[in-house]
Every structure is written in C-alpha cells, then in structure tokens.
Amino acid sequence: MAFVRLLFALVWLVPAFPSALAASSPDRPNILWITSEDNAKHFMRAFDPAGAPMPNLERLATEGIRFTRTFSNAPVCSPARSALISGVYGPRIGAQFHRRAQPVSLPEGLRLYPWYLREAGYYVSNNVKTDYNFEGNPWNESSATATWRKRAPGQPFFHVQNHTTTHEQRLHFPAEDVGRIRTETDPTTVQLLPQHPDTPLFRYTYARLHDQHRVLDREIGELLARLEADGLRDNTIIFYFGDNGGVVPGTKGYLSEVGLNVPLIVWFPERWRHLAPAPAGSAVEGFVSFVDFAPTLLNLLGLPIPAVMDGRPFLGTGVERAELDRRNEALGHADRFDEKHGFSRSLRQGDLKYVRNYLPFIPDALRNNYRSRTAAYGEWQALYRAGKLNAVQARFFEPKAAEELYDLAADPYETTNLAADPAHRETLLRLRARLRERLLALPDLSFIPEPVFLEQGRENPLRYGESQRATIARLMDIADLPLQPVAETRERLKAALVHGDTLDRYWALIAASALGRKAESLAPDVRALRAESADPLVALRAAEFLALVAGEDARPVLTRCLRQARSAIEASLILNTAVLLADHYEQPQLTVDPTWFPAAWRTDPALRPRLDYLAEPTQP
C-alpha cells in the first residue's frame, strides 16, 4: 500500500514526463466492477427480506447506493453482456441471440466501452468472462489472471471481476443430492416462487442457490480486502451487479422480474462522492438498465458519450436525483436462447408490466437442453403431466397469451394476467402502443427471421435495420393482427398470405397460428403455401399452422424443409417447430438423420442440442 502511494508521489514529482503525469492524475478514479452470474435481486437479503444473508454486500450497500430497479435488458448472458459492453439494445444491432450463430459488427462510430477508457489512459482488465456477440478484444488483458496489479505505475484502472459461483451450472446436481448433501441454508426456510410446486427437490434447489450466494459473498469480501490491502479503496468507485436474473427454473431465460431485475450497488469513496446522485446508504428507485452502464462509465470519467449509444448515464456530472427518480421504464427482450427459438418483448413502466409474446403458441417449457440440466425442471414437468399443479404452476407448460399485463405492486411474481380484464383495457392499449413505439424506434431486427438477418444484415446491422424500417413496420402490423377482433383481421391476413414478399407471408402464418382455431377458415389458403415450391421458411410456418389448428402431420414438410435448409440456423428453426409439435401438440416425433447436414452445422450451438435431444432414446 505504502509502495503504491510512494509511486504516486514519485510520478507526481516528475513534471518532465507530462504524459505520465496525466496518467497518474489523482483527479481520476479507479473503477472496479464486481459482477456475479445469474443473480436476481430477489435472492439477496440486501434487496429482499427473503434473500440469502450476504454481510459483505450488505455492508457495501449501507455505505453505498442501492439501485433497486436495475434491469438486464435480456434474461440470459450474451445478449445481456452485449448491451453492457456496447450501450446499445441488442435487437437494434442483431446482438439479441444467445448463443450467437455468428458475431455481428458494431455500428460505425461505436467501440466497445473499454476501448474509450483505454484511449483515456486507463488500464482495462477483465477477469474473465466476455460472452459478447461481437468480435474484437478491447481489453489490455482478459484472462483468469487479469488484475489491476498489472497496470503501469500510477495508471488508473478499470477492472471487471466476474464471479461464476451463482451461475446456473451450480444447480446442475442430481436429484439424489437431496438428503445426501446437506445445505447450510435450511430448506424449510426458503420462500418459493408461486410458480413452483412445494416439493423437497424445489426447496433443496433454492437452498443450494442460497448457499452459493453465501459463498459468493465471501468471495466478494476477499476481493474487497485485496483492494483495501493495495491501498486503492479511497480512490476506487465500486460497482456490484448481477449479469442477468435467475436462476431457479423458469427465471433465467424468461422475461419475468426474477429473470430481469438484478441487484446493483454503487459505492463511492469520499473524494468521489460529488459524482454520486444520492447519499450513502440510500436506495434509488429510478429505473436503470444495462444499456445505461457504458454511458455511465464514460460520464463518470468526463468522456463524451457516442450518439449511437441507446442508454443514458445514471452517475456523474449532470445526473440529477429528481430526474433519476422519474425514470420509470425498462425494455426487455427474449429471442433465441441456445436452440430454443422465441420472440417476446417486455415493457415495465413503474409497477406496470406489459409483455408481448409474438409466438404465443410456444410454451415457456419448450425444451432447452441446458435449462433441463437442473433436476427441478424435470420434476416440475412430471408433476404437470400428472395433473398435480395448480393453474399458476401449470402455466409454464401451456401456450402463452399474446399479451400479458401485471400490476407488480399487487402481484410482484406475475401470477395474474390482467390483459383480458376490461377494467385494465385503457392501460393495456397505452402500454401496447408504447412498446410498439419503442420497437419501431430501434427498429427491432427480430421481425426479420434470424437466418435472413444473418444472410443480409450481419455485416452492418445498424445500417441494415435503417434500410428495413418500412418493412419492419409492415411486418409488425401483420404480427399484431391477432390483437384485433378476428372479424376485422381475416381479410387483412388473407391478403398478407398471398403478399409478394416472403416475410409478409411468413408473419401472416405466425399471426394465424397465434390466433389458433379462430383462424381455422384460413386452412385452404395455408395449404397452398405448404407446397413444394414454397420458400422453406414459409412452408415451415404453413405446416406449423396446419398442425396446430387442423392436426395435420407436419413431418413430411418439415423433413423436406430440413433437407433444403440453407444454414444451420435455418435448420435449427425448423427443428424448433418439430420439437414443439411433438412435445406440446401430440404430433409424432420427427426422425432426423444428422448426415443430412454438413459436418460444420452439426456442432452449431443452435442446432447441436436439438440433434442430441432427438437422438435420446426416450423423449418425454
């Protein structure tokens, strides 16, 4: 500690080296980002009385500022981390998919934030997870041994220390562990989400997760002690936050509050307190989301914020508490996560939460191999099949509503969907319009099917999105037809089904499937779209509709589409429907021969899990 102080003093006394002098300026704070994996605020006592005790974090919170409404923009790692490092919403630049099929390019004029810090003279290090959907390494060092200690003498640092102690994989234990390996947390004391059955395995899973939080807290305590021992604490601004929510079943990977609302604590040393928007020990309820973090860093250091960034700073010069408290909106997105394709958006405004499910016929429970490694998922599903769940617990396995609306003040765990309640009609229409406005402003590239986007837009997603603005608005209109009374929409749907543009037909078929039986009269029109000559993506959605509403066997068409597939991601999209129809709509399971695909496709993260699943001897 004394050594470092001495170095500071020595460099300060050598005016012959002005650049060294600038780099050592005591007018610049160090910044330490402590991140932890898959942490909702609901599992931490610092934020929720039902959470795990974490004394080190609680002390940091008492001396720092708790941001109680901090949202990951996506409930899974790579899209969440892509928003953090770019300051841009994933669906605006094609970074919304997890695991990426291919990395996307950053918009012109934008660099990942470590680059700006590095330019400003900071030593930037990351230990160790990256998981961005972009190419490039903006760090001085990103490794399991990265540390602030490797910076030049007197150089300010920005360091990320990521903890995997609470990561989902920690819940990949066998069900036999119940009663075999004791937990520090008493399973009878945990508070289960209303979506979960009260079984010994669920209670044990929660207890294991609480235990991991206790371990995490000890690790954070050790890290803070190292900072202190290095004599750096009085010049370092400390952030602690979770990288996405989770991680009991049905949270990570889903747009629930437990999937999105992460903990955030920011601690300022005395000399940098003027950059804090609120007093030590206080809680800020103004909304903060991951796109705001990069602009916040730049603002803290007095650096300009690139115009292309979507977020805005929540710390530093110019941030006023009153204005911060008025921020009350957060946008969430869920798309393909691994092999499971979906498309949902959420908009939280104050205590109101609106969710739009564009593929409502896909239940949340649609198979995702990685999720299913948590044993409690399997038990949850078995209880569903045995008819032993109540309506709230069973909803995970059933088709979704196209729209969801929750009053989180009365219903914090989103159990009662108010979307169809006439008493809330005005609120529904207001939030529906607001979400639409937000998505059009991006514009949201998920209206372009992922295989088409990768082929046409990956090189310059931002510019591609701008060029597709009118198309995306038109496709959104078609996607929203199911929200109107059927009598008014049938003719528009019929027109879209024969539209000259493939994507209009594609979305008309999805809209028809979202309507389900109410769109049954369209079956003859749809059969024509299933024909041999059709585009595989159109034929896929046509076969899907006819399977859903008329029980027609989709396998011959899906097989044909698979064999015509132009990319691994297109094959993945087709297999998503195959598994959906077999597991949730009583269709016979498709037989797939992996040799239909080029060898490189068979290891693709979006395709391989489906091939593995279909190869399992006994599917459920």
47, exposed or middle or buried, with CB in 10 Å at 0-12, 13-18, 19+? buried
State both tokens at 209: 């997760």
Which residues, numbered 546-605, are part of the site for Ca ion (CB under 5 A)? none
Task: Decide: helix, strand or coil at residue 160.
Answer: strand
Find where tokens 């008025």 sit: 326
Would you count residue 338 as binding Ca ion (CB under 5 A)?
A: no
Considering only 221-229, 232-240, 242-250, 314-322, which stretch makes contact with Ca ion by CB under 5 A? 242-250
Distance CA 142, CA 137 (A): 8
CB of 162 to Ca ion, least distance (A): 9
According to CB under 5 A, which one of 28, 38, 232, 383 is a site residue for Ca ion? 38
Would you count residue 243 as binding Ca ion (CB under 5 A)?
A: yes
Distance CA 610, CA 572 (A): 7
Contacts of 96 (CB under 8 A, 6+ apart): 74, 79, 82, 90, 333, 335, 445, 446
Instruction: Compute how many residues bind Ca ion; rule: CB under 5 A.
Output: 5
Would you count residue 217 as binding Ca ion (CB under 5 A)?
A: no
CB of 341 to Ca ion, least distance (A): 20
Here's the x/- map for Ca ion, 54-83, by CB under 5 A: it reads as -----------------------x------
Q: Which is nearer to Ca ion, 327 or 373 (CB)?
A: 373
Contacts of 381 (CB under 8 A, 6+ apart): 365, 397, 620
Q: Which is nearer to Ca ion, 288 or 537 (CB)?
A: 288
Q: Which is nearer to Ca ion, 37 or 310 (CB)?
A: 37
CB of 218 to Ca ion, least distance (A): 20
Q: Which is nearer to Ca ion, 142 or 349 (CB)?
A: 142
CB of 167 to Ca ion, least distance (A): 6
User: Could you give the residue numbers annotated as active site?
Assistant: 77
CB of 208 to Ca ion, least distance (A): 17
According to CB under 5 A, which one of 31, 37, 295, 587 is a site residue for Ca ion? 37
Pairing of strands 236-242, 65-67: unpaired
Q: Which residue of this chain has its Cβ atom nearest to Ca ion in the complex?
A: 77
Find where tokens 């591609």 sit: 464
Strand partners, 31: 158, 237
Helix (H) or strand (E) holding 237: strand 236-242
The 8-class DSSP code of residue 460 comes to: S
Q: Which is nearer to Ca ion, 243 or 339 (CB)?
A: 243
CB of 35 to Ca ion, least distance (A): 9
Considering only 244-252, 361-369, 411-419, 593-601, which stretch makes contact with Ca ion by CB under 5 A? 244-252
Distance CA 413, CA 209 (A): 19
Distance CA 620, CA 586 (A): 11
Considering only 109-117, 143-151, 243-251, 572-580, which stretch makes contact with Ca ion by CB under 5 A? 243-251
Q: Which is nearer to Ca ion, 74 or 547 (CB)?
A: 74
Closest CA to 111 of 79, 92, 134: 134
User: Which residues contact Ca ion by CB under 5 A?
Assistant: 37-38, 77, 243-244
